[in-house]
Amino acid sequence: MNWLNQRARQHLIDWRAAGLERTPSVFSAGQEPVCTIDGREYVLFSSSNYLGLAEHPEVTAAAEQALQLFGAGSGGSRLTTGTTGLHTQVERAFADFLGYEDAVFFSAGFLANTGVLQALAGPDTLILSDERNHASIIDGCRLAKAAGAAVVVCRHRDPAHVDELLAQHRGDALVVTDGLFSMDGTLAPVPELLAVCRSHGAALMVDDAHGTGTLGATGRGINEHFALDGDRPDILVATASKALGVEGGAVAASAPVAALLRQKARTFVYSTSSTPATCAAVVAALGVVEGEGSPVKALHRNIARLTEHLGMGQWPSPIIPVPVGDEARAVQAADTLRQAGFFVPAIRWPTVPRGAAMLRVTVMATHTDEQIDGLAHAISQL
Ligand SMILES: Cc1ncc(COP(=O)(O)O)c(C=O)c1O
């Protein structure tokens, strides 16, 4: 056996022994409230398809039409042969939806975050990154470091710490944070961060992956939630992979920043672009969110129904943490819910700190009252 196989085997043995091995559940159909997973029917409370758009007839019809017209793949990267009218349309649609001058569409949210941080960082840049930021921001910071930037990890949701760190720095600085933290469903204090950034001449980048389509009365995300009409984060990353039910990540920014990203972000320049069918589906999904029958209100109503049952008061997001603490108890609680027919994951270290294990419930606009009440009852019996 060569060293590579030997190393892989040993890593897997160690990984398993540390209790970190994960095996994916296999879905037999789309992410609807009732679905078959590993051959058994469950009520699904763990999907990011918050608005039920993955299976929306207007979204799937748009994808099918583009598939017929353009075929399955895009045939190249954006700057070579991989730009269709649908690619430019999806970028315009995101910019208008989010209220920015321009938007650049990457084939995943992960690639958007890494691409932005790599492209905008230089030897003279300081990046301040929240300690609980998503892995794609962490990896983007690593690329920025390789380009000579300094990266400092700051305390979670703590504008005073950001203020303190910016006060010690002379030169360009970029503060980067998740908007809606994907594990515990809490929001970054964006208005306060914006004020601190402005007082030091720093720029602010917010990853609104889970806020797009879910936050704000019309689903326009964290800026709408905080009623940021004038000054806004300089860079807003929105994903099409969660509430919009498709895939891809859009970076909304000023015209010059967007233009620079199209030239310099390596995950944009050197990767095959999204399929035209993906772009068509995203444009259709944004149209549904903006349209008369928008599912955003139904999502908000369902969030309010479940969080009221759980005694959580006003809760802003569709990600609802049920704290358990002990890792083994959290796994047991998830198993008990599964036996009762509800699919809810247990989240443990290293995704969250040790001893802070929890159940991570996500709500969809398409859940019925009965399904929500049933889950709340099952949780109350744990
Ligand atoms: C906060 C956050 N940012 C970025 C991403 C990456 O987005 P995508 O799944 O579109 O690659 C995720 C996905 O889990 C996320 O939770």
CATH of the domain at 75: 3.40.640.10
CB-based contact 42:29 (threshold 8 Å): no
pLDDT tops 80 at residue 134: yes
| 1 occurs within a structural domain | no
Give the orientation angle of helix 369-380 with respect to helix 327-339, to 10 degrees.
130
Is the domain of 210 the same as that of 352?
no
| 3 occurs within a structural domain | no
Higher pLDDT, 184 or 278: 278
Output the pLDDT for position 22.
Answer: 86
Is the domain of 323 the same as that of 200?
no
Quote the CA–CA distance of 250 and 296 in Å, as a whole number.
Answer: 20
335: how many CB neighbours lie within 10 A of its CB?
11
- pLDDT confidence tier of residue 143, bands split at 50, 70 and 90: very high
Last residue of a domain, one of 240, 257, 290: 290
Quote the CA–CA distance of 203 and 257 in Å, as a whole number.
Answer: 12
Is the domain of 132 the same as that of 240?
yes
pLDDT tops 90 at residue 351: no
- pLDDT confidence tier of residue 229, bands split at 50, 70 and 90: confident
| 281 occurs within a structural domain | yes
C-alpha distances out from residue 224 to 51, 148, 308, 324, 363, Å: 17, 35, 23, 32, 20
β pairing state of 150-154 and 125-130? parallel
- Please indicate whether residue 48, judged by its CB atom, sits closer than 6 Å to ligand 1: no
Quote the CA–CA distance of 319 and 46 in Å, as a whole number.
Answer: 9
**CA 180 to ligand 1: nearest atom:** 1
**What's the whole-number mean pLDDT along residues 334-359?**
93
- Please indicate whether residue 140, judged by its CB atom, sits closer than 6 Å to ligand 1: no
Ligand 1 pocket test: pick from 178, 208, 239, 352 the residue with the most ligand atoms within 8 Å of its Cβ. 239
Is the domain of 227 the same as that of 310?
no
Quote the CA–CA distance of 110 and 104 in Å, as a whole number.
Answer: 14
Q: Which residues are catalytic?
A: 182, 210, 242
Nearest CA to ligand 1 atom 8: 109
pLDDT tops 80 at residue 216: yes
Quote the CA–CA distance of 279 and 104 in Å, as a whole number.
Answer: 12
Higher pLDDT, 154 or 1: 154
- Please indicate whether residue 136, judged by its CB atom, sits closer than 6 Å to ligand 1: yes
| 180 occurs within a structural domain | yes
Task: Quote the percentage of the chain above a pLDDT of 70.
Answer: 100
pLDDT tops 80 at residue 1: no
Is the domain of 213 the same as that of 302?
no
Output the pLDDT for position 73.
Answer: 96
| 14 occurs within a structural domain | no
Last residue of a domain, one of 253, 275, 290: 290
**CA 111 to ligand 1: nearest atom:** 11
Is the domain of 69 the same as that of 160?
yes
- The conformation of residue 123, written as its DSSP 8-state character, comes to T
Is the domain of 88 the same as that of 165?
yes
CA 251 / ligand 1 centre spacing (Å): 13
CA 109 / ligand 1 centre spacing (Å): 5
- Please indicate whether residue 52, judged by its CB atom, sits closer than 6 Å to ligand 1: no
Quote the CA–CA distance of 242 and 249 in Å, as a whole number.
Answer: 10
Is the domain of 351 the same as that of 242?
no
Output the pLDDT for position 272.
Answer: 98
List of residues 6+ apart from 230 with CB closer than 8 A: none
Q: What is the pTM of this model?
A: 0.97
Express each pLDDT in 251-270 by its tens digit.
999 999 999 999 999 999 99
Is the domain of 46 the same as that of 110?
no
Is the domain of 187 the same as that of 308?
no
Q: Both tokens of residue 134?
A: 């998503």
Output the pLDDT for position 177.
Answer: 98
- The conformation of residue 52, written as its DSSP 8-state character, comes to S
Is the domain of 74 the same as that of 102?
yes
CATH number at residue 353: 3.90.1150.10
Nearest CA to ligand 1 atom 16: 182
Last residue of a domain, one of 265, 290, 315: 290
38: how many CB neighbours lie within 10 A of its CB?
13
- Please indicate whether residue 239, judged by its CB atom, sits closer than 6 Å to ligand 1: yes
- Please indicate whether residue 110, judged by its CB atom, sits closer than 6 Å to ligand 1: yes
Express each pLDDT in 265-322 by its tens digit.
999 999 999 999 999 999 999 999 999 999 999 999 999 999 999 999 889 999 999 9
Q: Which domain covers residue 364, as residue numbers?
A: 22-52+295-380
